[in-house]
Amino acid sequence: MTPDTTPLAGAPETPITLDDIRHKALAIRSEVQDEVRTQVVDRRNQIVLVGAVVLLAVVGIAYFAGSRAGRRAAEPPAS
């Protein structure tokens, strides 16, 4: 019985070289780096936005508490 030497279906006709693999790996690395940069920028924007909302909430609460205290201080004392 002799081994079958017909190429497999879907197999490339030319052998894959080390340069082909290196080129593909560098392309994947570049795509991953771009995706990481995008994720970092998005995450930074989320952190800044949450910080701004928290700061506005704290300022609003401080204003509300201060205006109530000022109103109470401006009222004449009850006898």
pLDDT tens, 39-61?
A: 999 999 999 999 999 999 999 99
Which residues fall within 8 angstroms of residue 13, CB to CB, at 6 or more apart? 7
Alpha-carbon span 74 to 40, nearest angstrom: 51
Mean pLDDT value across residues 7-14: 69
Assign 69 a pLDDT band (cuts: 50, 70, 90). Answer: confident
Per-residue pLDDT at 24 exceeds 90:
yes
How high is the pLDDT of residue 6? Answer: 64
Residues 74, 67 contacting (CB under 8 angstroms) = no
Over the chain, what is the mean pLDDT?
87
The one-letter amino acid code at 73 reads A
Q: What is the reported pLDDT for 40?
A: 97
